[in-house]
Amino acid sequence: MKSLRFMLPVVLLSLSALMFSQTDTKKSDAPKSDAQKSFDTIKTLAGTWTAKITVDPPMPNMDDKNGPMQISMRVTSRGNALVHEMYSVGVPDDPTRYDHPVTMLYLDGNHLNLIHYCDAGNRPHMIARTSADGKTVEFDFADISGGTAFGHMHHAVFTLVDANHHIEDWTYMTPGDKAIHAHFDLQRVN
């Protein structure tokens, strides 16, 4: 009986490893969907980026005068997700006092999804569509979890210029449905 208790976890771990390896093989053999191609492109942005920000209409608390903004992106979950974090350089990571929004990008079937964990206390969900040249991925609002009393992120566009330069355009809808557009011109730090 003791040997059975020892062998069962070993067998289950072996089966799990076998299933992961077969899943990876199947993924590489199948033709890639547009969503998978877009996700593969977006994952090349993994690294740290410094941003020059332009906001329209201008907002005094969101511009380059308040210090540089950085964006960190990393691939996680065996390549199945990309974590995108925005933060101001030199500002402590104190979620009770400072903004530090996190965005997750992931595939669900034939759709590239984005969920933005917003400082406004909600989680907008957006679905991507790609450009003909494959260098632009545009995310359209699908739905939202949480309240919209403080507004919500409504639209995002990622444009790849080259390996060390990309642009992000984010549209935030205020509680009165007025759009605020933030343009991030990003250069790779590492």
pLDDT, tens digit, for every residue of 160-186?
Answer: 999 999 999 999 999 999 999 999 999
Confidence of residue 10 (pLDDT cuts 50, 70, 90): very low
Q: Distance (Å, rounded) from C-alpha 153 to C-alpha 171?
A: 6
* pLDDT digits 0-9 by tens, 62-112: 655 566 789 999 999 999 999 999 988 888 777 777 778 999 999 999 999
Which bin fits 134, alpha (ψ -120 to 50), beta or left (φ > 0)? Answer: left
Q: Encode 79-138 in three state secondary structure.
A: CCEEEEEEEECCCCCCCCCCCCCEEEEEEECCEEEEEEECCCCCEEEEEEEECCCCCEEE
* pTM of structure: 0.81
**With 0-12 CB in 10 A as exposed, 13-18 as middle and 19+ as buried, what is 158?**
buried
Residue 128, token pair as written in the block: 């991507």
For residues 42 and 3, the model is more confident at 42
Q: Distance (Å, rounded) from C-alpha 20 to C-alpha 13?
A: 11
Residue 117, token pair as written in the block: 């964990």
The chain-wide mean pLDDT, for the chain, equals 86
Task: Give the pLDDT of residue 11.
Answer: 45
Task: Give the pLDDT of residue 24.
Answer: 52
Q: Residue 112 in contact with residue 38, Cβ under 8 Å?
A: yes
Res 4 pLDDT > 70: no
Q: Residue 43 in contact with residue 79, Cβ under 8 Å?
A: yes
Average pLDDT of the residues in 121-149: 94
Going by the DSSP 8-state scheme, the letter that residue 22 receives in this structure is H
Task: Give the pLDDT of residue 17.
Answer: 52
C-alpha distances out from residue 18 to 11, 70, 149, Å: 11, 39, 48
Q: How many residues does the chain have?
A: 190
Confidence of residue 130 (pLDDT cuts 50, 70, 90): confident
Res 39 pLDDT > 70: yes
